[in-house]
């Protein structure tokens, strides 16, 4: 199971990033645990300057704006 954190304030882009992760996981048949992190102090620990951010198994894979769906699938396959 992949541990995924979606970092952000809860804005529409952050919500869209969470949906993208869940949709990609369902499409690929990958088990994921998705956690939304909205606390700025917690987000800062990952060194992000912009959100949304995506962290998979402790590694920051994306920061700022929405990633491409293909990129999300690639991260979940790795």
pTM to 2 decimals?
Answer: 0.94
Q: Looking at residue 49, what is its pLDDT?
A: 85
Q: How many domains does the chain contain in total?
A: 1
Say which CATH number the domain at 13 has: 3.40.30.10
> What tens-digit pLDDT sequence spans the chain (78 residues)?
999 999 999 899 999 999 999 999 999 999 999 999 999 999 999 999 899 999 999 999 999 999 999 999 999 999
Q: Is the dihedral of CA 37, 56, 69, 35 positive or negative?
A: negative
Structural domain range at position 60: 2-77
In this structure, the strands spanning 2-7 and 53-56 are antiparallel
Q: How far is the C-alpha of 53 from the C-alpha of 38, rounded, in Å?
A: 11
Contact in structure between 53 and 4 (CB atoms under 8 Å):
no
């Amino acid at each position: 199971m992949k541990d995924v954190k979606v970092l952000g304030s809860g804005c529409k882009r952050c919500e869209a990033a969470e949906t993208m992760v869940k949709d990609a996981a369902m499409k690929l048949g990958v088990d994921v645990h998705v956690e939304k992190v909205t606390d700025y102090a917690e987000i800062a620990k990952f060194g992000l300057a912009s959100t949304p951010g995506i962290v998979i198994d402790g590694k920051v894979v994306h920061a700022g704006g929405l990633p491409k769906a293909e990129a999300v699938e690639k991260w979940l396959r790795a």
